[in-house]
Structure 1
Amino acid sequence: MNVKKFTAATSRDALRKVREALGPDAVILSNRPVDGVVEILALDNDDVASLSAPAVEEPQPAAFGAFDNDFDPEPTFSRSAFAAAARDPQPRQQPAPRAAAPAPQAMDPFAGQPDVARPYVERRAAPQAEPEVPPTYVNRRAPAQEPGIDMAAMTQMMSAAIAQAKESAASEMSGMMNEIRAMRGLMETQLAELSWNATAQREPQKAAVLREMLAAGFSATLARYLIEKMPATKDAADALRWIKTVLARNLTTIANEDDLLNKGGVFALVGPTGVGKTTTTAKLAARCVMRHGPDKLALITTDAYRIGGHEQLRIYGKILGVMVHSVKDEADLRIALKELKNKHTVLIDTIGMSQRDQMVTEQVAMLSDSGADVKRLLCLNATSTNETLNEVVRAYQGTGLAGCIMTKLDEAASIGNVLDVVIRQKLNLHYISNGQRVPEDLHLADRAMLIDRAFRNNRNAAAQFGDADLPLMMAAAGSMSNADRMREVTLG
């Protein structure tokens, strides 16, 4: 048994030395720290196998008659030698025994005799030849190639696992937040319904005013805010009168058109398709010509896409005696405005496009970067819904609007929707247009008249809102997000 000792600073280094010397099948006998190092005693696997295998006696040549001189001098073998020869017919290659000092024949009476003839005690005490040290595992065979670790693949797998875990966590968190928002909205809706039911029972005049405002076209958000701020009163007529006063106070209009027409400048009429920009431009041009003459006015059209779009304005310009200029892009507009800088008033008729079109932003940028102070007037269609008008204002507002013009007033069944947007967005209402005649159907905005008209002839519309519908509408108005809530209005 050939036990070897290996020492190293760490167990890993010691085990590596064992593997290099004895192979991966080596048997570790002990592993302990000694004087600051790790000591490992190991044994080769082949030595362990030889220890576990049974010992086989080797045949020895018999000696000639040591006991009887008349004995036939034939070679004799022991019974165990015959058994060993039967098991292993091929003789094993034995290492050459170490040479020993010759002893005298007379002192060993059993010399030359088989081992069976030698006494048992003497056989056990006989010295054994030292076995030859077998070669190390490294010398016997090439070391096995250790499998390498692909660090790039492992890093990629770890990154993919981390990304998948993050995505799963984000998905679960998003679902949880959606459930919380849904629960919050449901609770707010139920609480708002209970609160409004209690308010309607305690102050029935508020329910009557709410019906009037909804029938006029005002939004539930504005109606809820004003009703909550309304002073206590027993009379529904007084409550409605207070509502009209507050709405008129918060509707911004121009006192007269002298500041607009006498001061002059560059005005661009913008808005969606079909709101009446070209007709309104012609009406404003006629007012300017009647006050300052055709030489002080210039018309510009950017409508090069619609078939006959610029021809309609050219016809109006020919009737008024005003030159109409057509531009295609920002460079042409910059050149035209530079040539017309001596004009008192310049009116620009822009291309009509949907408020959801990406070109709206390009149009606002073109007017802002034209090199002149272009004031944009937004045309609002009175027949559009409250949600549509809010989208139009958000799309065309850009860096700010100089004002707005209410068009198609003669076609609208109710105008509370457009007044609601003007009040909530804090727009300056310049004119109202109620027909196609040029320039008769263009008037200055009278806020008292507009508020009174919004609440006029809406009795049939007010009847369609039942008592069961009002709590739901108030709850929906109360659960709107902060981005959709109305701006602060002036009450006093």
Structure 2
Amino acid sequence: MNVKKFTAPTSREALRKVRESLGPDAVILSNRQSDGVVEILALANDDAASLAMPAPHSPMAEPAPSLDLSAPIIARRVEPRFEDELPHMSPPVSAAQPASLQPAAPRRVVAAASAPAPSAPRAATSAPAPQPKAPAIDAQQIAAMVSAAVASAKESAAAEMSGMMSEIRAMRGMMETQLAELSWGATQAREPQKTAVLRQMLAAGFSASLARYLIEKLPAGRDAADSLRWIKTVLARNLQTMANEDALIDQGGVFALVGPTGVGKTTSTAKLAARCVMRHGPEKLALITTDAYRIGAHEQLRIYGKILGVMVHSVKDEADLRIALKELKNKHTVLIDTVGVSQRDQMVTEQVSMLQGAGSDVKRLLCLNATATQETLSEVVRAYQGSGLAGCIMTKLDEAAAIGNALDVVIRHKLNLFYVSNGQRVPEDLHLADPAYLIDRAFKLKRDSVNSQYQDAELPLLMGADLGGFAAAREVHLG
């Protein structure tokens, strides 16, 4: 194995030397910076292929044993030879022929059944003790031994190959990251308007994956202000909202508000109930609660129902919910306030299963807390997704320092945003989602911290990282 070292002031120069010396198929073993220069250890493709060949004395290099077990095993018995053990015995000499002319006979004693052996001294005629026979090896034992040897060799080869592939993937990821950093560093110097838009998107709370994808698709020849308007237009176009309340209030049906604890499900249920009562009257609405865990949760919804003149029903399990929905099938709208469950709790799956098996078409509305981080909101959506969400409601808009994180999750997960809630008043603090207003507000909230959130040297590192959500960002429609 011939490992060569290449040094150069930059990574690009070092890779060029590797390509010129070892060809385009060379394998990079390491890449590091030392004393202001880039040092790369590389290996030719033929030498790398030789690493996969088995060692000359390893089990893999041995010829493959024959696995034909149908052939019979023939054991040959070797007769013991007693040559030179009876030197005093010789064939008799004929009287008519001198002893000197008699042909020399082989000194081998053959025991004949018809003639008894001549008498001899005890010490000379005693035969050696019979050796114990070696136990015969069964065919199944041979097959088991061969199978064990083959399995051991396969495991060893698989482990070596897995380790090599892991190292190659690590080196590939490192090179992609470094090349992405160099690319964004050049973009930062060549197109400063993209850097300005990137800073504003990151400050507004949008993910680096979505920001990178949109900036790469940004049309050329635009200044910073025009580029930002294009970004806002694309984001607003991909934010799916409800144009009017007819699809929800006038159409009616069974709606269940789900989400973690403390996101405002009960308050949002009361706000929706007030809108239904104002549109159709209290006799067309029914309220159901499944929250039997929190102290006073049922009483809170019952107070709202008493103010609106609507009966509140309490259920404990799927059977109770099925019975309640069957009794309330003549109602125009049924709102279900569910118990708050953490997205990492096993009860989330049970709750989704209960709503899906209630015997009625229950549409689930997910309540998203605008103050939560983007990673938390993504976990909530994945946990409550189930067979599909009818829509979502963004709550606590008035408490969020930045709302780009929530809008980013709604856009990337293709959720239908029905309402936004910005307070505790019922029903005033519930509004239809306006895409253009929400996107514009997301950029206005963090306008003062655009230039102070990240340094110039940190942007290439951030944009060159391995971003897991970049694949989801590719589904954004540019228009």
TM superposition score normalised by structure 1: 0.72
The one of 302, 317, 320 aligned to 1:329 = 317
Considering only aligned residues, what root-mean-square deviation do their CA atoms show, in Å? 3.2
Cα 1:165–1:349, aligned 2, differ >3 Å: closer, same or farther? farther
Cα 1:231–1:460, aligned 2, differ >3 Å: closer, same or farther? same
Which residue identity is paired with 2:198? L
* 1:379-458 equivalence runs, <5 A: 379-458=367-446
Cα 1:200–1:48, aligned 2, differ >3 Å: closer, same or farther? same
Match of 1:4 in 2: none
Runs (4 or more) in structure 1 with deviation over 6 Å come to: 125-132, 139-143
Preserved CA contact (<8 Å) 2:82 2:109: no
Match of 1:488 in 2: 475
The one of 334, 354, 367 aligned to 2:355 = 367
Which stretch shifts more, 369-378 or 456-465?
Answer: 456-465
Unaligned runs of 5+ residues in structure 1 are: 1-9, 27-44, 57-94, 109-120
Which residue identity is paired with 1:237? A
Residue 179 (str. 1) matches residue 167 (str. 2): yes
**Total equivalences in the alignment:** 393
Preserved CA contact (<8 Å) 1:379 1:404: yes
Match of 1:469 in 2: 458
Match of 1:189 in 2: 177
Cα 1:468–1:322, aligned 2, differ >3 Å: closer, same or farther? same
Match of 1:46 in 2: 82
Which stretch shifts more, 421-430 or 327-336?
Answer: 327-336
Cα 1:312–1:161, aligned 2, differ >3 Å: closer, same or farther? farther
Q: Distance in 2 between matches of 1:170 and 1:273?
A: 47
* 1:104-253 equivalence runs, <5 A: 124=100, 133-134=110-111, 144-149=132-137, 155-253=143-241
Which residue identity is paired with 1:290? M
Q: Distance in 2 between matches of 1:316 and 1:364?
A: 25
Match of 2:250 in 1: 262
How big is the shift at 1:444? 1.1
Cα deviation, 1:297-335, whole Å, max 9, x if unaligned, reads 111112223333323222222222211222222222111
Cα deviation, 1:408-452, whole Å, max 9, x if unaligned, reads 111110000011111111111111111122222111111121111
Cα 1:46–1:323, aligned 2, differ >3 Å: closer, same or farther? same
Unaligned runs of 5+ residues in structure 2 are: 1-70, 118-126
Match of 2:297 in 1: 309
Q: Distance in 1 between matches of 2:469 and 2:265?
A: 33
Preserved CA contact (<8 Å) 1:218 1:416: yes
Secondary structure of 1:49's match? Answer: coil
Q: Distance in 1 between matches of 2:301 and 2:140?
A: 70
How big is the shift at 1:489? 2.0
Preserved CA contact (<8 Å) 2:209 2:470: no
Q: Distance in 1 between matches of 2:104 and 2:147?
A: 65
The one of 346, 350, 353 aligned to 2:334 = 346
Cα 1:405–1:132, aligned 2, differ >3 Å: closer, same or farther? closer
Which residue identity is paired with 1:49? E
Match of 1:377 in 2: 365
Preserved CA contact (<8 Å) 1:253 1:445: yes
Cα deviation, 1:31-89, whole Å, max 9, x if unaligned, reads xxxxxxxxxxxxxx224422xx3569xxxxxxxxxxxxxxxxxxxxxxxxxxxxxxxxx
Cα deviation, 1:6-31, whole Å, max 9, x if unaligned, reads xxxx9x86x72x53xx3xxx3xxxxx
Cα 1:257–1:133, aligned 2, differ >3 Å: closer, same or farther? closer
How big is the shift at 1:151? 5.2
Q: Distance in 2 between matches of 1:54 and 1:132?
A: 12
How big is the shift at 1:394? 1.5
Identity percentage of aligned residues:
71
Q: Distance in 1 between matches of 2:327 and 2:291?
A: 20
Q: Distance in 2 between matches of 1:127 and 1:165?
A: 62
Q: Distance in 2 between matches of 1:225 and 1:483?
A: 7
Larger Rg computed on CA atoms: 1
Preserved CA contact (<8 Å) 1:405 1:433: yes
Cα 1:196–1:127, aligned 2, differ >3 Å: closer, same or farther? closer
Preserved CA contact (<8 Å) 1:233 1:239: no
Cα 1:193–1:55, aligned 2, differ >3 Å: closer, same or farther? same
Cα 1:465–1:153, aligned 2, differ >3 Å: closer, same or farther? same
How big is the shift at 1:280? 0.8
Match of 1:92 in 2: none
How big is the shift at 1:142? 7.8
Secondary structure of 1:46's match? Answer: coil
Q: Distance in 2 between matches of 1:352 and 1:470?
A: 39
Preserved CA contact (<8 Å) 1:432 1:444: yes
Cα 1:283–1:487, aligned 2, differ >3 Å: closer, same or farther? farther
Which stretch shifts more, 146-155 or 232-241?
Answer: 146-155
Cα 1:127–1:450, aligned 2, differ >3 Å: closer, same or farther? closer
Cα 1:351–1:484, aligned 2, differ >3 Å: closer, same or farther? farther
Which stretch shifts more, 320-329 or 262-271?
Answer: 320-329
The one of 447, 450, 453 aligned to 1:459 = 447
How big is the shift at 1:158? 4.3
Residue 356 (str. 1) matches residue 344 (str. 2): yes
Which stretch shifts more, 444-453 or 172-181?
Answer: 172-181
How big is the shift at 1:144? 4.6
Cα 1:452–1:166, aligned 2, differ >3 Å: closer, same or farther? same
Preserved CA contact (<8 Å) 1:408 1:434: yes
How big is the shift at 1:124? 4.9
